[in-house]
């Protein structure tokens, strides 16, 4: 079960589609095996980059059940259940937990402008869920438009014991991460903090007290290697690995284009059969693909130099 002690790399899975835009259930086995074979410590499905907002309620439930069936408990799974209606959040969360999920992730609805509004929204969420569903708060104001202050997060941590994880994805968010850890040293309940943003700030976030990373970079082995070297105390080696992948990580983080890049890389790596992003979504053109060719070749050279050093 998801807890305050949860650590490691939780890769955010893409949702595979066929070229015609239907969920490609035949690719779920290969996709989950790909992530497992890269050494991830957990998997998150139906996050924002998992195109959850483009799935019907029935598709969401079916995809969740299929992924959990395929994984068979090999790693913990967090399921994104963000929704505008408390009743839908409850149904999706209970379905996920009954199927074997470790916990759920919930982002705030848009339009919450004050700390009190945000607090009251999550009070409603936790009342709907009941006491037995561990929750990760998804802090991604670039998408939701909702700012989470360290102060209101601390208020939530005090009030809601089911809140066991923060997915810290504010940008910039380093000072907020440091503030939350400082508040914990002064008596606030400690929660797990995992970070996102494609891993772009991972070394700095780990130094500031992050417990791991939850993002969908198409080379999850980089996230695993950086995290494991950092935990082992090999900080310079962790930074060297990170540096080798950084050009591709930044390319993948292009607003509006990043998911199409991520899916194309995963297709090239054999994890999924189609790079289709469900409409509305971007289709990479020939210039984009040539740039990606060059970046992957550059990565191969960088990794060759690392192996020789």
Instruction: Determine, yes or no, domain membership for 20.
Output: yes
- Please report, rounded to a whole number, the percentage of residues in the chain having pLDDT higher than 70: 100
Whether 270 maps to a domain, the answer reads no
Is residue 130 in some structural domain?
yes
Residue 229 lies in a domain: no
User: Containing H/E element for 11?
Assistant: strand 8-12
Whether residue 233 is contained in a domain is answered as no
CB contact set of 301 (below 8 Å; sequence gap of 6+): none
| For range 118-123, the mean pLDDT | 98
Tell me whether residue 290 is in a domain.
no
Predicted confidence (pLDDT) at residue 182 exceeds the cutoff of 90: yes
**Average pLDDT score, the chain:** 97
CB 275 within 8 A of CB 283: no
The pLDDT, as a whole number, for residue 48 is: 86
Per-residue three-class SS string for 159-212: HCCCEEEEEECCCCCHHHHHHHHHHHHCCCCCCEEEECHHHCCHHHHHHCCCCE
Q: Which residues contact 149 (CB under 8 A, 6 or more apart)?
A: 115, 176
Q: Which residues pair with 103 in a beta bridge?
A: 78
Q: How far is CA 34 from CA 97, 184, 278, in A?
A: 24, 36, 22
In a domain, 35, yes or no: yes
Task: List the CATH number of the domain containing 213.
Answer: 3.20.20.70
Domains identified in the chain, total number:
1
pLDDT of residue 309: 82
pLDDT score of 112 more than 90:
yes
Among 91, 166, 104, 95, smallest CA distance to 133 is for 104
Residue 166's Cβ-side half-sphere holds a number of Cα atoms within 13 Å equal to 26
Confidence band, pLDDT 50/70/90 cuts, at residue 170: very high
Distance CA 149, CA 168 (A): 11
Q: What is the pLDDT of residues 195-216, one digit of tens each?
A: 999 999 999 999 999 999 999 9
Are 300 and 268 in contact by the 8 Å Cβ rule? The answer is no
Domain holding 117, by residue range, is 8-220
Q: Which of 161, 8, 167, 22 is nearest to 82 (CA)?
A: 167
> Tens digits of per-residue pLDDT, 43-86?
999 998 999 999 999 999 999 999 999 999 999 999 999 999 99
Q: Establish if 94 belongs to a structural domain.
A: yes
Mean pLDDT, rounded, for 11-28: 97
219 pLDDT band, cuts 50/70/90, is very high
Q: Is the pLDDT of residue 147 over 90?
A: yes
Looking at the predicted structure, is the pLDDT value of residue 271 above 90? yes
Question: In 3-state terms, what secondary structure has residue 192?
Answer: strand
């Amino acid at each position: 079960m998801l807890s305050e002690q949860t650590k490691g790399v939780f890769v955010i899975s893409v949702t595979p589609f066929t070229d015609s835009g239907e969920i490609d259930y035949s690719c779920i086995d290969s996709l989950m095996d790909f992530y497992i074979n890269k050494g991830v410590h957990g998997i998150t499905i139906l996050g924002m980059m998992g195109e959850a907002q483009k799935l019907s309620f029935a598709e969401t439930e079916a995809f969740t059940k299929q992924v959990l069936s395929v994984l068979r408990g090999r790693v913990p799974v967090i399921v994104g259940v963000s929704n505008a209606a408390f009743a839908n959040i409850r149904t999706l969360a209970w379905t996920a937990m009954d199927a074997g999920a470790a916990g759920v992730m919930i982002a705030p609805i848009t339009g919450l402008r004050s700390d009190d509004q945000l607090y009251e929204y999550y009070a409603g969420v936790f009342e709907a869920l009941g006491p037995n569903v561990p929750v990760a708060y998804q802090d991604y104001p670039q998408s939701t438009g909702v700012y989470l202050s360290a102060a209101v997060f601390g208020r939530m941590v005090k009030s809601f014991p089911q809140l066991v994880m923060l997915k810290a994805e504010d940008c910039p968010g380093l000072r907020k991460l440091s503030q939350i850890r400082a508040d914990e040293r002064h008596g606030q309940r400690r929660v797990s903090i995992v970070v996102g943003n494609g891993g772009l700030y991972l070394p700095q976030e780990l130094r500031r007290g992050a417990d791991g990373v939850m993002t969908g970079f198409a080379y999850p082995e980089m996230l695993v290697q950086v995290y494991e070297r950092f935990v082992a105390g090999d900080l310079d080696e962790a930074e060297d690995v990170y540096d080798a992948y950084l050009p591709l990580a930044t390319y993948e983080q292009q607003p509006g284009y990043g998911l199409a890049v991520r899916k194309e890389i995963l297709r090239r790596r054999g994890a999924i059969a189609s790079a289709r992003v469900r409409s509305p979504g971007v289709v990479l053109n020939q210039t984009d693909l040539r740039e990606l060719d060059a970046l992957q070749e550059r990565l191969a050279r960088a990794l060759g130099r690392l192996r020789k050093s």
